[in-house]
Amino acid sequence: MEDFFDAFESLENLEEESRRMENRERRVGEGNLQRILELTHQINQADDPDLVFSRLLSSAIELVDAEFGALVLEDEDGHWTYPHALDREGKSCEHAEKLVSTSIVRQVLQTGISARNEDIQNNEALSTRSSVIKLNLKSSLCVPLRLQDRIVGVIYVHNQSRISVFTDTMLVLLEVFCELGSIILTHISLRREERRRYQEVRDLQAYHQSIVDSVPVMLLVVDDSGRVHFSNRLTDELLQQNPYLEWTGSAFQVERRVMDRIGFHEEAGGGGFDFERQGRTFRLFPFPLPSSERRKGRQGLVISEVTLQKRMEQQLLEKEKSDMLSRMAGSIAHEIKNALTPVKGRLGLLEARIIANEELYSQITPDLRIINEMADRISRIASNLTTLSRPLSMNRQLLDMNHEVEQVLQLLKETGGRIKNFYCGLFDEQGGSLPPGSRFQIDLDLDENLPQQLGDRDYIQQLLMNLLINAAHAVEDKGEGSIRIQTRHSGQTVVLTVSDTGCGIAADQLKRIWDPYFTTKVSGRGSGLGLTLVRMVVEKHEAEMKLDSIQGQGTSFTIRFPLGFGREPEFND
């Protein structure tokens, strides 16, 4: 009878334990749903894998009511690490490698299958394992942790005091937890990879931009309207002062006239060309760009400043011209001097023959004197031809610019009739209207208080003659107009201005007028050497010359001569 009551009591205990287990599983299931919701909420917030692992492990221990839990990770070389180990209260445990059954962990890592072990002490396969014996394990759960189809570790929990506490439901829930953890970790990994790749792209863009910015030329991408879509640093630095860009109110745009010269089209860039803006020379090369739906009709431009290069090229060209001119001038001068020698000799003989006839001699002596002076001047001019490409030999002396102007005008009036069609008050003290035979006028505005200056008289007179002859030709070619000669004193300079209201010089010819043998006159009226010599005389006197000319309106040469040499005259008009 006593045995019966004992058996009945045992049955009641079993039923109580069963009800307790059912209630526990129900509570565990309800708690798990809340945990899953919490972890799901953390998916979009977690950014640190270590934090995810810690939360996952602490939730797993609480979920299955384990006494100990650990996260074991395995790298690609098979080495294990134990980043987290916690007890039931959530406290970290040191030396986790000594608190984990390596046999159970190894089995799950190798097979990839979760393991639930109850009553381990009576399990023939595990009870004899050294780690099981040492830890006195009663029950355990071990679930693989995957990351993108690769097993990277396990979640391991155990009890050392109780058996039969880990149910199949707990195992399934723990597997769900681990899958959720894998999703979180994959999400974090993808986000980190995305950020890494994004940063790589940014770094690559910055590197490419630094290369583009380091290029010592201006780079632009424009559409067929000239609107700028891209520019490098050098272009940006010069954007406000770029001579080929204009502000449209919303964006910078390449000038229409520049775009027209490019010959814009998508297949290939047009030919390069040079253009000038604000006294600087630029070289533009268009190049084609890959076309896309968004970037259709765009083209690249490379623009570099070649002002210095052009200047050097021009200097080289001038040197070549100068060398050629030197050889030619030497030959011409030699021939002129050879021809003048007998002329001078015949003049001497003629004077000796007629000296006995006093009346005739007195009549022609002035003419002989002028002829002799002109022969001497021609000889000097011939000698000066050789100086067009060599340093001028200066004979410095004090001179009066007003006197030199009058001398040259008188000389041009008396010899050759260079200004025979011009009336000048210098030749007619009565002044007034143009006398018969005079079609044009020369006006003089000479400063009576003009100081003397250092200079070479022959070269100054040559300069004046060339400027006056050119002015006379310009007025005659137009058929109307006048010449004006002005002198004035300004600071430490004497200012000479020779202007006319003739036909003027075309804009495209202004730069070439200084070239030897270039002339705008009709054939036979000019050698093309006059202005070349004018510029050389100006430079040799350390003077400064300014040219203004408008086609159809006239031309003006203004020259500032320093009173002495060694000064840098400047225009302050």
Statement to judge: residues 19 and 68 lie in one domain = yes
Statement to judge: residues 442 and 362 lie in one domain = no
Spatial separation of the C-alpha atoms in residues 116 and 154, rounded to whole Å: 13
Q: How confident is the model at residue 524 (pLDDT cuts 50, 70, 90)?
A: very low
Statement to judge: residues 407 and 550 lie in one domain = yes
Statement to judge: residues 34 and 157 lie in one domain = yes
Query: Which residues are paired to 69 by β-bridges?
Result: 86, 157
Looking at the domain assignment, is residue 569 inside a domain? Answer: no
Statement to judge: residues 356 and 377 lie in one domain = yes
Q: What is the pLDDT of residues 425-436, one digit of tens each?
A: 766 644 445 555
Q: Tell me how many domains the chain contains.
A: 4
Statement to judge: residues 91 and 67 lie in one domain = yes
Quick check: 498 and 442 in contact, CB under 8 A? no
% pLDDT > 70, the chain: 74
Which of 4-18, 178-192, 541-555 ranks highest by mean pLDDT? 541-555
Q: What is the pLDDT of residues 357-408, one digit of tens each?
A: 777 777 787 777 778 777 777 776 776 666 554 555 678 899 999 999 998 8
Statement to judge: residues 339 and 384 lie in one domain = yes
Contacts of 154 by beta carbon, 8 Å cutoff, 6+ apart: 71, 72, 105, 108, 109, 142, 143, 144, 145
CATH, residue 398 = 3.30.565.10
Place of tokens 């400047």: 570
Final residue belonging to a domain, choices 125, 159, 191: 191
Looking at the domain assignment, is residue 441 inside a domain? Answer: yes
Query: Which residues are paired to 150 by β-bridges?
Result: 147
| b/e sequence 124-137, b meaning 16+ C-beta within 10 Å | eebeebebbeebeb
Is the pLDDT higher at 279 or at 396? 396
CATH, residue 350 = 1.10.287
Looking at the domain assignment, is residue 408 inside a domain? Answer: yes
The mean per-residue pLDDT over the stretch 464-486 comes to 90
Average pLDDT score over the chain: 77
CATH, residue 219 = 3.30.450.20
What pLDDT sits at residue 220? 80
Looking at the domain assignment, is residue 492 inside a domain? Answer: yes
Statement to judge: residues 47 and 161 lie in one domain = yes
Spatial separation of the C-alpha atoms in residues 153 and 508, rounded to whole Å: 84
Q: How confident is the model at residue 29 (pLDDT cuts 50, 70, 90)?
A: low
Statement to judge: residues 252 and 164 lie in one domain = no
Looking at the domain assignment, is residue 442 inside a domain? Answer: yes
Spatial separation of the C-alpha atoms in residues 364 and 355, rounded to whole Å: 10
Spatial separation of the C-alpha atoms in residues 124 and 128, rounded to whole Å: 7
Place of tokens 């109780």: 162
Query: Is 18's pLDDT higher than 70?
Result: no
Statement to judge: residues 507 and 527 lie in one domain = yes
What pLDDT sits at residue 329? 72
Q: What is the pLDDT of residues 305-358, one digit of tens each?
A: 788 888 888 777 777 776 776 777 777 777 777 777 787 777 777 777 787 777
Final residue belonging to a domain, choices 129, 158, 191: 191
What pLDDT sits at residue 568? 45
Quote the domain boundaries for residue 100.
14-191
